Amino acid sequence: MKNIKKQLDKSVIITGATVTGKTTLCRRLIVHFGLDPMPVHTTRKLRDGEIENIDGIFISEQEYKTRFDNGEYLQESLESAYFSGAYYGCPREWINSTKHGNYSCFVCPTVKMAKEIKETLGLSYTLFLGRLSHCDSLVN
């Protein structure tokens, strides 16, 4: 299989509902297509089966707030970075690295974060994963 970096000039942004396979899909894209992982910083706890620095960079709330106050994250406000009891942030330096040809796979816990990354990056593939129950409600 060819390396996707030679076929595409875009990164992949994955977002969607919880427990829909965002992390699993991103891992497969990383392994099979040679994309670079771009794990967000988060204050939530590491889940079973997750890998530090691949599935996320797990930091304390105090460290997150210090980094946020220093302008390190793309998120506009602490409120926009807060989801389901934890903070999530995408470091600006990673976005800048991606804009210069390092095509990456981002897993975003919120559509808002995915939109912020897409607007900053420009062209990218954006995937939204939903649960079957969400699809049923769209049909009915």
- Average pLDDT of the segment spanning 6-13: 70
Dihedral of alpha carbons 105, 117, 94, 55, sign: negative
Give the per-residue pLDDT at 62.
97
The CA-based dihedral angle spanning residues 20, 84, 73, 76, taken in that order and rounded to the nearest 10 degrees: 110
* φ, ψ for residue 121, nearest 5 deg: -75, -35
In the chain, alpha helices (H): 4-7, 22-33, 61-69, 92-99, 111-121, 132-139
Give the per-residue pLDDT at 140.
45
Q: Is residue 137 scored above 60 in pLDDT?
A: no
Give the per-residue pLDDT at 100.
67
Would you kindly state where each structural domain of the chain is located, as residue ranges?
4-139
Q: Is 19 exposed, middle or buried, given 0-12, 13-18 or 19+ CB atoms closer than 10 A? A: exposed
CATH class for the domain made up of 4-139 = alpha beta
Q: What is the pLDDT of residues 58-95, one digit of tens each?
A: 999 999 999 999 999 988 888 778 888 999 998 888 87
Question: Which amino acid type is present at position 125?
Answer: Y
98 vs 70, higher pLDDT: 70
55 vs 98, higher pLDDT: 55
Give the per-residue pLDDT at 1.
47
